[in-house]
A and B are shown apart, each in its own frame.
Chain A
Amino acid sequence: MPNAPDLALFAFAPCPELAGEVRRHTVAIVGAGPVGLTAAVDLALHGVSVVVIDGKSNVSEGSRAICWAKRSLEICDRLGTGQQLVDQGVTWNEGEVFHGDELIYSFNLLPEPDHHRPAFINLQQYYFEQRMIERATALPQIEMRWQHQASDVSVFDDHIEVAVETPAGIYTLECDWLLACDGVHSTIRSSLGLDFSGRVFQDRFLISDIHMEADFPAVRRFWFDPTFFDGQSTLLHKQAEGVWRIDMQLGWEADPEEEQKPERVVPRLRRMLGDIEFDIVWTSVYTFTCRRMERFSHGRIFFLGDSAHVVSPFGARGGNGGLQDADNLAWKLALVTKGDAPEALLDSYDSERIPATDENILNSTRSTDFMTPKSRVSRVYRDAVLNLARSHEFARRLVNSGRLSIPAIYSDSPLNTGDTEPFEQGPPPGAPAVDAPVASPQAPDERRWLLDQLGTVFALLAFDDGEMDWPRLQTALAQCQPAVRLLRICPPDAADTEGALIDRWDIAAFRYDGAPGTCYLMRPDQHIVGRWRKCLLPEIEDALNRALARH
Chain B
Amino acid sequence: MPGKLRTELGLASPDDFYESLIGAHEGLSDGQSELLNAKLVLLLANHIGDNVVLTEALAAARAGIEPDQNPSA
Contacts and interface: CB of A to CB of B under 8 A. Distances in A.
A434 to B, nearest CB: 28
A398 B42 contact: yes
A381 B41 CA distance: 9
- Main SS of the interface on chain A? helix
A394 interface: yes
Contacts, number: 23
A170 interface: no
B42 A383 contact: no
A387 interface: yes
A548 to B, nearest CB: 39
Contact of A387 (B34, B35, B41): B35
B46 interface: yes
A384 interface: yes
Contacts of A380: 34-35, 38
Interface in A373-423: 380-381, 383-385, 387-388, 392, 394-395, 398
Contacts of B39: 384, 387-388
A383 B35 contact: yes
B43 interface: yes
Contacts of B42: 381, 384-385, 388, 395, 398
Interface string A309-328: 00000000000000000000
Interface range on chain B: under 10, 10 to 19, 20 to 34, or 35 or more? under 10
A384 B42 CA distance: 8
A384 B46 contact: no
A384 B37 CA distance: 9
Contacts of A394: 46
A392 B39 CA distance: 11
B38 A381 contact: yes
A381 B36 CA distance: 10
A383 B32 CA distance: 11
A383 B41 CA distance: 13
B62 to A, nearest CB: 13
A346 B24 CA distance: 61
Nearest to A394: B46
Which residue among B35, B38, B41, B46 has the maximum number of chain A CB atoms within 10 Å of its CB? Answer: B38
Interface string B32-58: 001100110111001000000000000
A398 B38 CA distance: 13
Contacts of A395: 42, 46
Interface of A: 380-381, 383-385, 387-388, 392, 394-395, 398
Interface of B: 34-35, 38-39, 41-43, 46
8 contacts: A380-B35, A380-B38, A383-B35, A383-B38, A384-B39, A384-B41, A384-B42, A388-B43
